[in-house]
Structure 1
Amino acid sequence: MIIQMWMLSLMIVFVGGGVLWDCRLSRQLYCAPLPRPYRDRPSQLAGWKRNCSDEVIVKADDLLRILREAFSFNPDDRYQCASSDRIMAVQRAC
């Protein structure tokens, strides 16, 4: 009985530690994965810089931040969306 309680406590510590570590890395408690069409492609930051001016990139970064927060995506994945992607297409893919 004592060994079972000890093992259960150890599992709780490891799972809780994993959740806290993920929260620390992503700065939010839960991150949903990007839909497959966006997840499988490389970063689109070069395309954003090639197609847009610096002022537009600043506004686009704000838009991508809002999109990331709305769909609970990982902050590092925000440039997986290209400048030609439609927000409704991302929403349908989710």
Structure 2
Amino acid sequence: MSKYMILSLLLLLGSTPVIAAKQSYKCYLLTTNGPEIAFYRWKEQDLPTKQAELVASKRKDNRGKAYYVKDVKECTLLSEEFSSAEAKALDKKTLR
């Protein structure tokens, strides 16, 4: 009897889906307010969808004034560097 319980437990543990961990990303955005670096936390498999959803999304500045994302030039892991020189320069100036 205990063999069957142990076997059942092992099968149950082996069949549980792996939960995808979220990753931290930084994105170089062109907005109606000018270029900016924004930070997000997404699942890796959701990156293309989430990146596409950013275009035309509404954001607010420090004063509460709304502006929009015109284009997403690049998204990369938080620990990696951007490929474009403009994004690298802006990233150095951006507070974490």
**TM-score interval for Structure 1 and Structure 2 normalised by the shorter chain:** 0.3 to 0.5
Bigger share in helix:
1
Bigger share in strand:
2
Q: Which has the higher contact order (CA 8 A, sep 6+)?
A: 1
In the superposition, the TM-score normalised over structure 2's length comes to 0.35
In the superposition, the TM-score normalised over structure 1's length comes to 0.35
Instruction: Return the index of the structure with the highest Cα Rg.
Output: 2
